[in-house]
Structure 1
Amino acid sequence: MNTQENITWNNNTPSSTQFEDVYYSTTDGLAETQNVFILGNQLPQRWQQQKTFVIGETGFGTGLNFVATLAQWEKSAPQHAQLNYISVEKYPLSKRDIKKALNHWSELDRYVDELLQVYPSDVAGFHRLKLLKDRVSLTLMIGDAKQMYRQLIATVDAWYLDGFAPSRNPGMWSVELCKEIARLSQPGTTFSTYTAAGQVRRNLHHAGFNVSKVAGHGKRERLCGSFNQTPNLISQAPWFHPPNLPASNRKKAIIIGGGIAGISMAHTLSQSEWQTIILEQEDRVAAQASGNKAGIVMPKLTLDMDKYAQFHLSAFFYTVSWLRNLQSRQPSLDWHPDGVLELVDKQRGTQLAKLKLSKQVMQALDAEQASLYAGLTLEKNALFFPTAGWLAPANLCTTLLKDNPEIHVALNQKVSSLQQDADNTWHVSTQTKSYTADVVVICNGPSADQFQQTKHLPITPSRGQISDLKQTASAPTLLRPICYGGYVIPLSKNELLCGASYTSDDKTVALKKEDHDHNIKALRQHLPDLLTEQPQAHEGRAATRATTIDRLPLIGPVANESFYRIAYQDIKHGKRPHTFPLAQYHSGLYIASGFGSRGLTTAAIAAELVTNLINNKPLTLNTTLYHAIHPARFLIRTLRKQ
């Protein structure tokens, strides 16, 4: 995170010591933003004609351009329109510095406060943030501009090119970055910038933009223009290329499954004006694994921060922000963001501390410090995740339905088949009724591979059992959840929930004494002071979860298996990716499954990602992570080996 030493102040106007340049005009930064970037891209007139508008920016800085655009959007955009604002920042400012830098303009105070409420930690990567009651999505990419934009999947309508001066930060105006800006543009995409530097003009022209000089703000000239070429659809991974769903006037979606994954999906889709109906085979929602009394929301880190860890960290950031917003609207949400402890040995704790994550994300504690956070004596060191927490999954499900009463739920509807007719309408049959929709999203956990279209997906059921334990009055009071391979959650002063057992390829849900014994033994082994005596009764719950061999979920469009096997049969010979055709899917069919025991942390970002894909909006995950969770990845791996 940028500290005070990286910034100098002159009359509360910040300058970068590294680039020796100001963050905005010293005369009137807001007027420059309004004239150069907003009016320079013919806004707000252009967004009056679109339900979704996408702005890309090359330097977030103080956030001035963003909050000024936010204010203009709220004032002038159509009521149901949505703004997607994408920006990048290699050296993010602290909340304190942003607040100070934007303190000049009282008319922006409300928007600055809303930005600071969701402003992320300084962890590299994509951060998707929601503002103005979810009407605005901010994708803030922390890292090098060229690398971040290279990982972005989006189509931008207008560009704010606002890096530090080309002479001081040439990387923000390089040929390579201009090519990425062009890749993310379409015919009619505009740009505007404060500079008139010749190299910038040449780089943009070479990338495919018409470039013009116009009167500048506080200077003689500046550049603006528009993209004039057909987008280049050559892909380095054509088998994962996002689908292009045909526009529909009906916008009706069926969600199969009424657990956390399905209800989160319906809730997110409905926020973008989709009519959603959930088909649940049981007589109530959250009847399967989502019916557990409690679960933990936290990241899962690895020493090398592989794709698994990166995905779960991104999902964690998104979910915490999502839950915060939901709880602000629905105080009945039983969300406890009081932090979570993870016991680690000294070596692992030291290694993970080398990741140098912000203290807002993770803190390494010795056993004495960890004991204070836990409320009882611990023998091991621990990692503390201060923004993590626990919640009741069933309460989350009912809260989401309460938050959007337009979601329709049909119970006792076990889906038997999916069929698509010639006009791409889906027909979903249950034992009693047939439903039609433009889009179907499969969210029924370990049963997600039951359909003809999904039978190729390697989903394995995994049984998990949790144990509900009663505490005696003399037992210590656990202050927050602790993970130790298993986990324990303090539901109340006198009640603990611990778990969970793991049995692959087991769909039985009857409680097993040996699994209770396993859970209690693990709890006693790691937290011997927590249970003062043997629990009087074994209570708990068992459910089946969907897992995959690489432990990552299946999120995205469902591949047309026959097309893949023919079109990509030569992939094993090492042919260059651009020689293969773009992927073909079952149009309008998506899946979100394979979450394992991490559904509470990952279901929300899965819903956001699938909604992005359906609506052709910027993806919330970078390209690497999107490919890592793509449902077709196992097909491609099989074809590579044949």
Structure 2
Amino acid sequence: MSSTYLPLQPATLVRNAQGLPCSPRYDDVYHPAPGDGIAQSRRVFLAGNGLPGRWAGRETFTVCETGFGLGLNFLALWQAWRDDPARPRRLHMLSVEAHPFSRDDLATLLRECVPEELRSGAQALLAQWPPLLPGLHRLEFEGGNVTLTLGLGLAESVVPQWDARVDAYFLDGFAPAGNPQMWTPALLRALSELSAPDATLATWCSVGAVRRALDEVGFAVTRREGEAGKRHVTVGVRKPEAGAGARAQAVFAGAHEAIIVGGGPAGAGVAQSLALRGWRVTVVDEAAAAAGMTHAGHLAAACTPLIARDDNLRARLSRAGSRRALARWRDLPDTGAPRVCGTVQLARDAGRAADLAGTLAVLAFPSSWVRAVSREEASALAGVPVRRGGIFFAEGMLVRPQGLVAGLLATPGVRRLAARVAQVTRSGSQWRVRDEAGQVLAEAPVLVLANAAAAPALLGTVPGNVAAWPILAGMHRLAGEVAHLPAAALAGGPRCVVGGEGYLLPEVDGLCVAGSTYVHGAERAERSAEGRDTAIGKALGLVDLPLAGDPGADGWAGWRAVLPGRLPAIGEVPDAAGLWLATGYASRGFCWSALAGDLIGARLMGEPVPLERDLQAALGPR
């Protein structure tokens, strides 16, 4: 995004004279009559697309909807999947909504219009309902076998950013007379570009201009008799000569087996994502004999998003990454699950605090997710006096790296192999990793290099010229250290993450982590008295506390793999099918870990990708 950023405009709960929920903005109702919303979903959209019969015998099936509204189409679709013994193993829905309801308003409306058999689904939807932030939100149900990828924003902005392969369309925007933007030829073309060759569509709209536009973008359409106040409905099927849409996602056709080189946050995040999708994964790492050993001694770290007045690429990526991390990790065992304690991000000075408040006003993000706080409010949130005000992220997380990595690598389907990979070769469709003696350690059709700053050198052993990218040549290692301070020396430590020029984390095992340093050109990542003093000084610059007693000498040192621009490289290597990168995570490894895993997993499985195309391009190997 740029300075043309438009804030999300949530819906308000308004009723018409008949008591039906309606949109004054578009002069239309959300469903036709009390109790009839689900019936219309079944009659118009499921039956109009030949569902559930069309998905019989398929591994996956993807539905694309315009106009999420109250979620009735999703709930009806999900229930049809549940009730069908011939259902596909995985069902995906992709939907867009420019004006989403708050969770409370949506709960009120669903209580009124959802029949008893769909109540459990409605409650599950509400439990995962996201904060009303622009962008893509992935919700998962049935152990990940049913997913909803919800795009919040204007359809003309959201739809071109989707990356998916669609089997059926539910065209359910408000009527063209009130909301013509949902029915423009340009939008219908963008939707059609995601089509599988046999895609179908259904809509209650039978306006001639819409039917002609659908015909022009590759669908043979038919007008049928309607019911329940609709004179006609429209159904369609992809014309044979139209084939797959120009942007329809390809599906990996090989065996679901992968090798991941590197067992830190990057490799573990990809391993978990693939294993949850049923893949057999081998993680090859020198430290694999002790799960999480790549971060042994790394007591705690923070995962906090960024904001920017223009909601730029970095801000959007950090928001997507932190939200995927929370969704993926919240159900891990206690030793690996993040602590959602919130983050107080302090302004550098009073002028910067005013700038932050102005940025929040422009973005119009919900205050339940991020809000401006005074020094007094920030101190109350932190439980210790802080030196300035700033902003508070309610979903800021404290993670325990060693436990987190161990938990991710313990996902069923992940095998760990303690070895050093010295060479990558290829035999047909299989990638092979070899040790220093040339012995094959593992082979699979998919290989992910997630070994931080060692990735460029290993990529250089791949046959061909795949390593010739300037940005990877610019990767470098940056050493850093943190100090572990007794919580008792800091009045028990903060209750939330406190960040600014450095950070101070809540107590873990009686210690608070203070950080951090950045050492360019270091030969070793090691702790030092100078580095410790720097880390402590940064932390004490955030809180208005004396350091009581002996702070000790405990801490941790490690490396960051940094690329020019400080964005990671995540994606498939051009001209090397099956070879992927997940590297260059720099200081935000825990922000990128789950997002990278789901990006790679979704691309391989041909499911809707929970990340916009422009953000994928920003991360792609380059």
Deviation at 1:23, TM superposition (A): 0.5
Partner of 1:189: 199
Equivalent AA in structure 2 for residue 51 of structure 1: E
Please say if 1:531 is aligned against 2:547: yes
Contact 2:424 2:432 in 1 (8 A): yes
Does the residue aligned with 1:503 lie in a helix, a strand or coil?
A: coil
- Please give the per-residue CA displacement for 1:1-39, whole angstroms capped at 9, x wherever unaligned: 766755226676311111121101215111110111112
CA distance in 2 between counterparts of 1:630 and 1:494 reads 41
Partner of 2:4: none
CA distance in 1 between counterparts of 2:580 and 2:444 reads 13
Deviation at 1:118, TM superposition (A): 1.4
Partner of 1:271: 276
1:303 to 302, 309, 312: 309
Partner of 2:98: 90
Distance change in 2, residues 1:174/1:296 (3 Å): same
Contact 1:338 1:386 in 2 (8 A): yes
Partner of 1:640: none
* TM-score with structure 2 setting the length: 0.90
Partner of 1:40: 48
CA distance in 1 between counterparts of 2:263 and 2:380 reads 39
Which residues of 2 match residues 529-568 of structure 1 at below 5 A? 529=545, 531-533=547-549, 535=551, 537-559=552-574
CA distance in 1 between counterparts of 2:554 and 2:97 reads 50
Contact 2:55 2:87 in 1 (8 A): no
Equivalent AA in structure 2 for residue 277 of structure 1: T
Which residues of 2 match residues 165-244 of structure 1 at below 5 A? 165-218=175-228, 219-228=230-239, 229-230=241-242, 244=250
1:19 to 18, 21, 26: 26
Which residues of 2 match residues 354-369 of structure 1 at below 5 A? 354=361, 355-369=363-377
Contact 1:462 1:507 in 2 (8 A): no
2:82 to 74, 82, 91: 74
- Structure 1, 20-29 or 75-84: larger mean CA deviation: 75-84
Does the residue aligned with 1:591 lie in a helix, a strand or coil?
A: strand
Equivalent AA in structure 2 for residue 612 of structure 1: A
Does the residue aligned with 1:552 lie in a helix, a strand or coil?
A: coil
Which residues of 2 match residues 486-525 of structure 1 at below 5 A? 486-492=502-508, 494-506=510-522, 508-525=524-541
Contact 2:301 2:398 in 1 (8 A): yes
- Structure 1, 331-340 or 586-595: larger mean CA deviation: 331-340
CA distance in 2 between counterparts of 1:604 and 1:320 reads 9
CA distance in 1 between counterparts of 2:17 and 2:546 reads 56
Distance change in 2, residues 1:254/1:477 (3 Å): closer
Partner of 1:576: none
Deviation at 1:629, TM superposition (A): 0.7
CA distance in 2 between counterparts of 1:286 and 1:276 reads 17
Please say if 1:51 is aligned against 2:56: no
CA distance in 2 between counterparts of 1:17 and 1:353 reads 27
Does the residue aligned with 1:550 lie in a helix, a strand or coil?
A: coil
CA distance in 1 between counterparts of 2:192 and 2:489 reads 66
Please say if 1:323 is aligned against 2:338: no
Contact 1:289 1:544 in 2 (8 A): no
CA distance in 2 between counterparts of 1:473 and 1:525 reads 15
Contact 1:475 1:530 in 2 (8 A): no
Deviation at 1:588, TM superposition (A): 0.4
1:128 to 119, 134, 138: 138
Does the residue aligned with 2:201 lie in a helix, a strand or coil?
A: strand
1:462 to 478, 498, 512: 478
2:72 to 48, 53, 64: 64
Distance change in 2, residues 1:309/1:294 (3 Å): same
Distance change in 2, residues 1:371/1:9 (3 Å): farther
CA distance in 1 between counterparts of 2:232 and 2:84 reads 28
Contact 1:340 1:388 in 2 (8 A): yes
Equivalent AA in structure 2 for residue 222 of structure 1: V
Equivalent AA in structure 2 for residue 317 of structure 1: R
CA distance in 1 between counterparts of 2:342 and 2:89 reads 36
Partner of 2:293: 287
CA distance in 1 between counterparts of 2:69 and 2:324 reads 21
- Please give the per-residue CA displacement for 1:394-433, whole angstroms capped at 9, x wherever unaligned: 111222234x23211112x111111112x21111112464
Distance change in 2, residues 1:439/1:245 (3 Å): farther
Please say if 1:429 is aligned against 2:434: yes
Deviation at 1:364, TM superposition (A): 0.4
CA distance in 1 between counterparts of 2:149 and 2:430 reads 32
2:576 to 574, 586, 604: 586
2:452 to 445, 457, 460: 445
Deviation at 1:489, TM superposition (A): 0.9
CA distance in 2 between counterparts of 1:266 and 1:91 reads 36
- Please give the per-residue CA displacement for 1:344-395, whole angstroms capped at 9, x wherever unaligned: 1333322332322111221100111111111122221121111112021111
Deviation at 1:532, TM superposition (A): 2.8
Deviation at 1:64, TM superposition (A): 0.7
Does the residue aligned with 1:510 lie in a helix, a strand or coil?
A: coil
Distance change in 2, residues 1:37/1:331 (3 Å): farther
CA distance in 1 between counterparts of 2:489 and 2:156 reads 59
* TM-score with structure 1 setting the length: 0.88
Distance change in 2, residues 1:502/1:15 (3 Å): same
CA distance in 1 between counterparts of 2:244 and 2:234 reads 24
Partner of 2:265: 260
Partner of 2:338: 335
Deviation at 1:79, TM superposition (A): 7.3
Contact 1:267 1:400 in 2 (8 A): yes
Which residues of 2 match residues 474-485 of structure 1 at below 5 A? 475=491, 477-485=493-501
Does the residue aligned with 1:113 lie in a helix, a strand or coil?
A: helix
Contact 2:52 2:87 in 1 (8 A): no
CA distance in 2 between counterparts of 1:281 and 1:591 reads 18
2:351 to 347, 351, 363: 347
Q: Where in structure 2 are there 5+ consecutive unaligned residues? A: 1-7
Does the residue aligned with 1:546 lie in a helix, a strand or coil?
A: strand
CA distance in 2 between counterparts of 1:161 and 1:126 reads 19
Contact 2:11 2:100 in 1 (8 A): no
The CA RMSD measured in Å over matched residues stands at 2.2
- Structure 1, 170-179 or 291-300: larger mean CA deviation: 291-300
Please say if 1:312 is aligned against 2:318: yes
CA distance in 1 between counterparts of 2:97 and 2:199 reads 22
Distance change in 2, residues 1:528/1:474 (3 Å): closer
| Count of aligned pairs between the two proteins | 593
Which residues of 2 match residues 364-443 of structure 1 at below 5 A? 364-402=372-410, 404-411=411-418, 413-421=419-427, 423-431=428-436, 433-443=440-450
- Please give the per-residue CA displacement for 1:57-88, whole angstroms capped at 9, x wherever unaligned: 00000111111111222222657711121000
CA distance in 1 between counterparts of 2:278 and 2:295 reads 29
Contact 2:300 2:508 in 1 (8 A): no
Distance change in 2, residues 1:486/1:159 (3 Å): same
Partner of 1:622: 612
Distance change in 2, residues 1:172/1:12 (3 Å): same
CA distance in 2 between counterparts of 1:127 and 1:10 reads 34
Equivalent AA in structure 2 for residue 168 of structure 1: G
Please say if 1:110 is aligned against 2:144: no
Distance change in 2, residues 1:12/1:136 (3 Å): farther
Distance change in 2, residues 1:346/1:136 (3 Å): farther
Contact 1:36 1:217 in 2 (8 A): no
Partner of 2:3: none
1:139 to 149, 173, 184: 149
CA distance in 1 between counterparts of 2:607 and 2:379 reads 46
Q: Where in structure 1 are there 5+ consecutive unaligned residues? A: 236-240, 560-584, 633-642
Equivalent AA in structure 1 for residue 285 of structure 2: E
Contact 1:54 1:84 in 2 (8 A): yes
Contact 1:264 1:603 in 2 (8 A): yes
Partner of 1:581: none
Contact 2:338 2:399 in 1 (8 A): yes
